[in-house]
Amino acid sequence: MPEFELKIDGMSCQHCVMRVKKALESVKGVRSAEVEIGRAIVSCDCKKEELIEAIARAGYKVIN
């Protein structure tokens, strides 16, 4: 199963962490999402672009 490490701009608190985690977990195929301020590690059966789009809808930007 592919694993992606994403650097995320705009996160500054635990609310941001929970918002990004919820957005990632809503993507079909995501098995796990470990999120901390500025970073997420996601194991999934989906495309990286789908993860980036979910993060953007949550109001943040992937910078890698």
The domains found in the chain, sorted by start residue, are 3-62 (3.30.70.100)
Between CA 15 and CA 50 the distance in angstroms is: 22
Q: Could you tell me the pTM of the whole model? A: 0.94
Closest by alpha carbon to 4, among 56, 53, 39, 37? Answer: 39
Interval 54-58 mean pLDDT = 98
pLDDT at residue 64 is higher than 80: no
* Cβ-contact 55, 8 below 8 angstroms: yes
CA–centroid distance for 13 within its chain: 15
pLDDT at 16: 97
pLDDT, tens digit, 9 for 90 and up, residues 2-55: 899 999 999 999 999 999 999 999 999 999 999 999 999 999 999 999 999 999
pLDDT at 1: 80
